[in-house]
Amino acid sequence: MRRTPFLAAAFLVPLAAAEAREPAPEMKARIEAALREQGYTAWEEIEMKRDGRVEVDDARSTDGKEYDLELDPQTLRVTKREED
């Protein structure tokens, strides 16, 4: 019985990893430029989701607060912002 949680966790990790990936270097540069243009000075992680969404974790704004962001994949404008 003790193996069940371990096995379940072993199968979930690859699924979660497949849900998101790091953007290609060119796209990452575009996203970072767009973030700076929109008033963000630093961030922890940028991920491209399988459904096309761009997510940015712990983006620090010029107001000094940190936010988790979602960007429109076409315009790279912030479409969702939640304070951390």
Q: Name the one residue in this structure whose structure tokens are 């990452």.
A: 28
| Per-residue pLDDT tens over the stretch 8-35 | 555 555 545 457 899 999 999 999 999 9
Does 32 fall in a domain?
Answer: yes
Does 2 fall in a domain?
Answer: no
Rounded to a whole number of angstroms, the CA Rg of the chain reads 16
Residue 75: strand, helix, or coil: coil
Measured CA to CA, the distance from residue 76 to residue 54 in angstroms comes to: 8
Range of the domain at 45: 20-83
Domain count, the chain: 1
Decide if pLDDT at 66 tops 60: yes
Name the band, by pLDDT with cuts 50, 70 and 90, for residue 2.
Answer: low
Q: What is the pTM of this model?
A: 0.76
Does 3 fall in a domain?
Answer: no
Does 54 fall in a domain?
Answer: yes
Decide if pLDDT at 3 tops 80: no
Q: Name the one residue in this structure whose structure tokens are 């922890």.
A: 44
Does 15 fall in a domain?
Answer: no
| Per-residue pLDDT tens over the stretch 42-57 | 999 999 999 889 999 9
Torsion (CA) 47, 48, 51, 54 in degrees, nearest 10? 70
Residue 68 is part of a domain; what is its CATH number? 3.10.450
